[in-house]
Amino acid sequence: MTDDAGFDQFQGTRSYIASDELRHAVNVAVALARPLLVRGEPGTGKTLLAESLASALALPLIRWHVKSTTKARDGLYVYDTVARLHDSRFGGDHDVRDIARYIKLGPLGEALAAPSRVVLLIDEIDKADIEFPNDLLLELDAMRFRIDETGREVTARERPVVVITSNNEKELPDAFLRRCVFHYIQFPTRELMAEIVRVHHPDLTDRVLDHTLEVFFGLRATPRLRKKPSTSELIDWISALKKSGVDLARISGGIPFLGTLLKTEHDLELVGKRAKA
Amino acid sequence: VLVDFLFELRARKVPVSTHEWMALMEALALDLHDSSLDGFYHLCRAICVKDTAQYDAYDEAFLAYFKDVHVDALRITEQLAAWLADPRNLERLTPEQQRAMRELDLERLRELFEQRLREQRGRHDGGNRWIGTGGTSPFGTGGRHPTGMRVGGGGGRSALAVADERRFREYRRDVVLDVRQIDVALRGLRRLGRDGAQDELDLEETVDRTCRNAGEIDVVFRPPRRNRVKVMLLMDVGGSMDPYAELVSRLFTAASRAGRFASFSSYYFHNCVYASVYEDAQFRRAVAVADLIAHRPCDEKLVIVGDALMHPAELLDPGGAMYVAGERRASGHDWLRRLAGHFRSAAWLNPEPDRFWGGTTIEVIASVFPMWQLTLDGLAAAVRFLTRGGERPRVGDPSRWVKAASER
């Protein structure tokens, strides 16, 4: 797909089914060159979105997985002082006076310094400190930054397509939200879910698919569940069923491999009790 | 033309900024909405609405603006809930008013309620007829009709134990504290120290030592700086605190944000601290105050939030804990003094406006704990006091209360 394909650049891919709303939000973000902030229940394919967007636009993907200790600066660059000290003492074939050798670009830095357009995924931004998104405001706005040690200015030649995911663990600051295009991935409807499962398990018969979805949505509708099973867990569950050779048409009694769908003791007990009753 | 829609959105509390509006205009100019209303709906939502909680309000605004469809049925119930969630203007009852309120039986009450619900058109606070908060109408919440019907909310104020102590209470709009403001104020509450794993390179020290070592590299690590302040929050809930529930929950949200303090714990109490406080606001999991005093380090900062308003007997009499069974020998006042004696720095934040503090139990409690009003200024002063100490604020003259209690 090329740039002159116009607005509807993203249509989902063969392995990623996107709802109309999601496609629209992605295309708006691409057209406005603003970061796309995606929220949604865990397991609704927020991270996969970036991958499929990159392959749909035929652009390289740079991932930045945020952890609780991640600092905004780490995303731009890291100045490896210890290596420089080491080289100054033990020599080696490096020129110690050249600081640039010891500057390593982080994922955001790489995306900005890239010679062509890239897709940058900032995964689970809410895991980091509350100030983290604020520290990125300028870089995401202007798409440039300065390496203080060398005075080098890095400016993006083409604004990267930025996809940011969040699990809603923390509130994000308003100033940050203002600059994003926002989309909330809703849990798929039964029809959409059937389509998604088809993509991953094309050999499933209609009857079996129907039956698994019945069980799955039945489980999700169970009241007081601590953690509802998600799309990715459904797909795992079906794989497990297929591999074990259980007859999928006859899973009405107990649910086999319940552990792939429910992840807390409380939920397992609850569903067990309801099955008996 | 669309500017009206912007204001429609803002009127429904969807915080759309000019920044976002400009982006939307840019997007429209690029024809990203496909020149269709559906396209515009998704486009505008993606750009302007950043919180799923506001999606519903957005839909409403959209419907109202573009289809002239009024969704009144929905709004009435929501609005009713909104009026009631937000009690204001509690009037003090005169004996005449009390007499004037006829006792109503349940059947009649229900009939009247349905009739009013049909007639009522707007928010109503105070007064004696409509459904709303405060006032003496038999319907609504936070009012004081003795046999009235409570609609939503909780904790009417007609509890006889405190009825005579109530004074006019105004609903403040002047100083609204939002979570972010509280957040900023609490940032002052810290004492940085280096603690824990040594995983930060101390560059200065490394260079220094390496030089002393005649160029032999000596890498020095140090633990990163972390906030070492430990905080314990005690919150008064229910009853007379209901009008401030939202404010207190904002304070709680800001204080409990992850990673803010070295340790943070919170407990609930009702009216006054007696022998126990509770881990949950439903008062199911009790924790003995004596245990807290025994096990908590005394350098923990104790922050109490409450209106400190109660009947004097509830504070000063040994059996004053009318809601709490169990040990009755110590009065609430005694328990408060024990807490104040253990924790080296403590502060009481009171949502009640300070001009109403005089002549109430607030004076007594303010003599035990340094007290500030729960406003931005008060909070900032309390944080200053907790970190740096200083002079405690003076409130009234509590001696007459204590004397009254000893005479009793």
A85, B210: Cβ pair inside 8 Å? yes
Predicted TM-score (pTM) of the model is: 0.57
Distance CA A50, CA A61 (A): 8
- As a whole number of angstroms, the distance between CA B299 and CA B387 comes to 11
Using CA atoms, how far apart are residues A179 and A36, in angstroms rounded to an integer? 9
Enclosing H/E stretch for A16: none
* CA B50/CA A175 separation, integer angstroms: 11
- Least CB–CB distance from A89: residue in B19, B42, B215: B215
The whole-angstrom separation of Cα B191 and Cα B251 is 20
Dihedrals phi, psi of A269, to nearest 5 degrees: -60, -45
- Cβ pair B140, B154 in contact under 8 A: no
ipTM topping 0.90: no
The three-state (H, E, C) secondary structure of B99-141, written as one string:
HHCCCCCHHHHHHHHHHHHHHCCCCCECCCCCCEECCCCCEEE
Q: Which residue of A has its CA nearest to B203?
A: A81
E-strand ranges in B179-250 read: 192-194, 200-201, 221-222, 225-227, 230-236
The backbone torsions φ and ψ at residue B194, rounded to the nearest 5 degrees and listed phi first, read -95, 125
Question: Mutate which of A8, A70, A85 to test chain B, going by most B C-beta atoms within 10 A?
Answer: A85
User: If you measure CA to CA, which chain B residue comes closest to A37?
Assistant: B50
Contacts of B201 in chain A (CB under 8 A): 81-82
B11 CB near a chain A CB, below 8 Å?
A: no
| Contact (CB<8Å) A28/B46 | yes
Strand partners, B183: none
Encode chain A (277 residues) as per-residue pLDDT tens digits.
Answer: 334 345 667 776 767 877 778 888 888 888 888 899 998 877 788 888 898 889 888 899 999 999 877 888 888 998 888 788 778 777 766 677 788 888 899 999 999 998 899 999 999 888 887 778 888 888 888 888 998 888 888 898 888 999 999 876 666 788 888 888 988 888 888 888 888 888 888 888 888 888 888 888 888 887 777 778 888 888 888 888 888 877 655 655 567 788 888 887 778 888 877 776 6
Closest Cα partner for B123 from B166, B155, B79, B157? B79
Whether residue B27 lies within 8 A of chain A, CB to CB, comes out as yes
Q: Measuring CA to CA, how many Å separate B266 from each of B230, B235, B379? A: 11, 8, 18
Contact status, residue B221 vs residue B275, Cβ threshold 8 Å: no
Q: Which residues on chain A are in Cβ contact (under 8 Å) with B17?
A: 178
Radius of gyration of chain A measured on its C-alpha atoms: 23
Q: Find how far residue B402's CA is from the centre of its chain.
A: 30
Mean pLDDT by 10 residues, chain B (408 residues): 80 82 86 76 83 73 64 48 48 48 50 55 44 43 39 31 23 43 70 69 82 80 78 82 78 72 84 83 82 85 86 73 55 86 88 81 86 82 83 68 55
A219 Cα to chain B: minimum distance (Å)? 24
Chain B closest-CA separation from residue A21 CA (Å): 7
